[in-house]
């Protein structure tokens, strides 16, 4: 029960945002390492685009799960080893809001 509540909390806007340095590191990771498949401007590559309009229909939970655990059977790898659930939630908010140029 507690776990369920925690998961819910992590997937809503209430999640604690990462600190400033960590935010910068996550944005860097997004552009550079996620960018190698999704495009440096998130416009897509071998992997689909992660632009606000492409993500709008998909619930946050599904996107956070994709980041943490990957999508088995596709090239999307899991990132749990270096991205926490709170951080993934923050990344999804950044992506849905659109990364600044």
Partner 1 sequence: MTRAIKPARLLVALLFLVVAAGAAGAEELRGTGDLGIVIERTAGAVQIIETSGRTSLGRIEGLGDLSHASAVFSRDGRYAFVFGRDGGLSKLDLLTRRLVKRVVQAGNSIGGAISQDGSLIAVSNYEPGGVRLFDAETLAPVADIPAVYGATGARSKVVGLVDAPGNRFVFSLYDAGEIWIADVAQPDKPVITKFAEIGLQPYDALVTPDGRTYIAGLFGEDGLAMLDLWRPEAGVRRLLDGYGRGEEKLPVYKMPHLEGWARAGDRIFLPAVGRHELLVLDAKTFTEIGRIPVHGQPVFAIARPDGRQVWVNFAHPLNDTVQIIDTQSLEIVQAIQPGKAVMHLEFTPRGENVWISVRDADRVDVYDTDSFARIGSIPADKPSGIFLTARANRIGL
Should residue 33 be labelled a site residue for partner 1 when binding is judged by CB under 8 A? yes
Q: Which window, 5-13, 29-37, 51-59, 83-91, contacts partner 1 (CB under 8 A)?
A: 29-37
- The correct pick among 27, 31, 65, 93 for binding partner 1 (CB under 8 A) is 31
Could you tell me if 42 and 35 are in contact, meaning their C-beta atoms sit under 8 angstroms apart? Answer: yes
Should residue 89 be labelled a site residue for ligand HEC when binding is judged by CB under 6 A? no
What are the helix (H) ranges across 1-101? 2-10, 20-29, 35-38, 52-55, 60-69, 85-97
- The correct pick among 9, 48, 61, 99 for binding ligand HEC (CB under 6 A) is 48
């Amino acid at each position: 029960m507690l776990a369920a509540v925690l998961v819910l909390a992590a997937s809503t806007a209430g999640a604690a945002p990462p600190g400033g340095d960590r935010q910068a590191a996550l944005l860097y990771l997004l552009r550079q390492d996620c960018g190698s498949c999704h495009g440096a401007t998130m416009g897509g590559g071998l992997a689909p685009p992660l632009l606000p309009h492409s993500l709008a229909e998909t619930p946050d939970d599904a996107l956070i799960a994709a980041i943490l655990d990957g999508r088995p059977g596709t090239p999307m790898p899991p990132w749990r080893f270096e991205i926490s659930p709170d951080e993934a939630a923050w990344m999804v908010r950044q992506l849905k809001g659109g990364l600044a140029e």
